[in-house]
Amino acid sequence: MGATAGLTFTSLNPIFAAECSGVDIGEPISPQIAEAIHQGMDRYAVLVFRRVKPLTTQQQLSFTRSLGELEGKYTKIEAEEGMRLDTPLLSDISNLSPKNELLPPEDRKRLFSLGNRLWHSDSSYKKVPARYSALNAHVLPPEGGDTEFADMRVAWDTLDAATQTRIKGLIAEHSRIFSKGTLGFRFTESELNDFAPVRQPLVRTHPRSGRRSLYLSSHAGRIVDMPQVEALMLLRELTEHATQREFVYRHKWRVGDLVMWDNQATMHRARPYDDLKYPRDLRRSTLTAGAPALSFNGRVEHVAA
Ligand code: OGA
Ligand code: MN
């Protein structure tokens, strides 16, 4: 437990994740409070803000903007099928159609979003990936639908020295083709074009805290200059190590909760629920990292794939 600028952080797990209280995130926040939240993120990487009611779109956007610059966001699937939310700046993390009806089994948006059940870091398939994601719960199913988080700094710190030396300079390629492809998802020609892989360091340095972490994601599907079978095996071994139970915080949602995680230091995944029976409506605002991920050495070694 620690307090700065009137904020209190209460640990939710022995290694990371904390509940943050003492601030009303539905009201404008001062630069001092914003800095205290950044410090909390540097330390805990996942912060939970409990609220009685969900935020309005404007409240969620203005809270997120007080911490950084929003990521530009607009997916082809939504462009084709219409949007449910009143702004393209929030990601619609739900199983609902624009008419607020449950998506049917074969719906493409449904199948696409099932990929969130694979461990990932948001927007790792973009050259300039995501910084924080803030997810606010509006409607929840009666059971299931938790979200799990894994601390990728601890994952790095606990690797044996030989493995650290072997992997610290490696570059991975990330694309949604790899993540959704694992599940057998079929892509259109134009998606195949849009989803060209980008290169990310496998071990990254946090731009604020300086801490190193494994930069894994289900979007990672190749390693530069490594035979493909070996690359996938390495990614799988590292992911297994990084997501062992002791490194994972499982969030059980309550309506109104806003959970904010640092994609530069964690992975997350959705857990299953009966999505053909119950609505689940969460809305995500996302900050851009503003610059490509820093390598192990703190440099930008990212080269376009
Ligand atoms: C996300 C995400 C997981 C969930 O919003 O980026 O992966 O539990 N969500 O809905
Ligand atoms: Mn996600």
**Per-residue pLDDT tens over the stretch 153-174:** 999 999 999 999 999 999 999 9
- Nearest to residue 211, comparing CAs of 266, 168, 153, 124? 153
Nearest to 164 by CA among 153, 173, 174: 153
Q: Is 219 in the pocket of ligand 1 (CB under 6 A)?
A: no
Residue nearest (by alpha carbon) to ligand 1 atom 4: 270
Q: Whose CA is nearest to atom 2 of ligand 1?
A: 116
Give the model confidence (pLDDT) of 216-270 as tens digits. 999 999 999 999 999 999 999 999 999 999 999 999 999 999 999 999 999 999 9
What are the domain boundaries of the chain? Answer: 2-303
CATH architecture of 2-303: 4-Layer Sandwich (3.60)
CA–CA separation, 1 and 158 (whole Å): 24
Q: Is ligand 1 within 6 A of the CB of residue 262?
A: no
* 126 neighbors 305 (Cβ within 8 angstroms): no
**Residue 43 DSSP symbol:** H
Q: What tokens were used for 105?
A: 């089994």
**Residue 270 beta carbon below 6 angstroms from any ligand 1 atom:** yes
In tens, the pLDDT along 109-150 reads 999 999 999 999 999 999 999 999 999 999 999 999 999 999
66-118: per-residue pLDDT in tens?
999 999 875 555 555 678 998 999 999 999 999 999 999 999 999 999 999 99
| Atom of ligand 1 at shortest range from CA of 122 | 6
Model confidence pLDDT, tens digit, residues 2-35: 557 899 999 999 999 999 999 999 999 999 999 9
Give the angle 206-69-254 at the CA atoms, nearest 5°.
85
